[in-house]
Amino acid sequence: MAARGLWAECWEHTAGLWQELRDNQLLKYGAITTVSAVSLVVLRKWVAGGVCHSQAKLHGKTVVITGANTGIGKETALDMARRGARVVMACRDLSKAEQAASEIRQATGNSEVLVRHLDLSSLRSVRHFSTELRAAEKRLDILINNAGVMMCPKMLTDDGFEMQLGVNHLGHFLLTNLLLELLKSSAPSRVVTVSSVVHDRGKIHFDDLHFERTPYSPLTSYRQSKLANILFTRELASRTRGSGVTCLCLHPGVIRSELGRHVETRWPAAAALLRLPALLLMKTPREGAQTSIYCAVTPGLEEHSGCYFSDCRVKRPAPEARDDLTARRLWDVSARLVNHYSN
């Protein structure tokens, strides 16, 4: 009887609380606000994704980062500088790059943050940059192929390549090959290439790589270039096996950065509507840089050379990105296009 009475009392107390919650508007809205706030915090944490926890220092190491003046490239450069690395920011816009470098030097106290001009849409610029770097630097420990363009209108590079394939893949393909001997002589070293999850619907259009005969689609072209990044990493890992060069690629996440400027220009109304949700559902540049940083500095990743990462973990890419024959064919085609052949 005593137990039954206790249960009855508890039930009445609980029912009273629910009744009070229904009747008390302030309490009700307070509860809703609390639940909403907690939910938003959980959502943001999930969107932010993985975090690089490595405390590795990079004193005496040299890091080259393409497109390092903004977005995840700048955040990656900031992190590398904090770890003590000599950081070379390889950028097309020198004024923005110098401003970014100045901010990084001030924030980290690292004076070894340098700027060099590199325009990935020009093979001549890529060759000039590589020649200057090899003459100026005794070593290269980490090359981060970060720069890119996304869903731009139909444009051609200086060498007549479709812009997205030319910048995102072919420019980095030539750059990496021209710096490969320096990477090998500095081993253990790493090549980290930023790709994207959109590769999973990509295809390498060997019969029309530059959309000269088929209608141009910004998204189709972007997917092709990001798939090319992964296939390039896979084949590069195969060709450098045993050399001490570890080759990794990654999806950084969906990020609020200047990379999406062409999307906003093409669909301004949609961009305006999505601006507020984007604050919750897209990563900040700092959050987006975490996987690049993870791949660059985390010890023990040598066994994963050729692999694809997302949120600081190895992930299985799409079947098209695991096709060794396609990777080898893309390498051969790319070598012909940029007129650079290697073993």
Dihedral of the alpha carbons of 195, 201, 205, 210, in degrees to the nearest 10: -60
Is residue 146 over pLDDT 80? yes
162: DSSP letter: B
Is residue 51 over pLDDT 50? yes
For residue 282, what pLDDT band results from cuts at 50, 70 and 90? confident
Q: What is the pLDDT of residue 32?
A: 56
pLDDT digits over 181-213, tens only? 999 999 999 999 999 999 999 999 999 999 999
Distance, in Å, from the CA atom of 226 to the CA atom of 218, rounded to the nearest integer, reads 12
Tell me, yes or no, if 222 is annotated catalytic. Answer: yes
Which residue matches tokens 């000039």?
A: 128
Q: What is the pLDDT of residue 34?
A: 61
Contact in structure between 314 and 307 (CB atoms under 8 Å)? yes
- Which secondary-structure segment (H or E) carries 5? helix 2-23
Beta bridge partners, 193, equal 145, 249
Please state, rounded to an integer, the average pLDDT across all residues of the chain: 88
Residue type (1 letter), 319? P
Distance, in Å, from the CA atom of 3 to the CA atom of 8, rounded to the nearest integer, reads 9
Considering only CA atoms, give the Rg of the chain: 24
* Residue 258, token pair as written in the block: 């200047």
pLDDT digits over 111-143, tens only? 999 999 999 999 999 999 999 999 999 999 999
The answer to whether the bond into 188 is cis (omega within 30° of 0) is: yes
Of 222, 294, 308, 341, the catalytic one is 222
Using DSSP, state whether 191 is helix, strand or coil.
Answer: strand
**Would you say the pTM of this structure is higher than 0.75?**
yes
Residues recorded for the chain: 343
**What is the C-alpha end-to-end distance of the chain, expressed in Å?**
88
Q: What is the pLDDT of residue 324?
A: 98
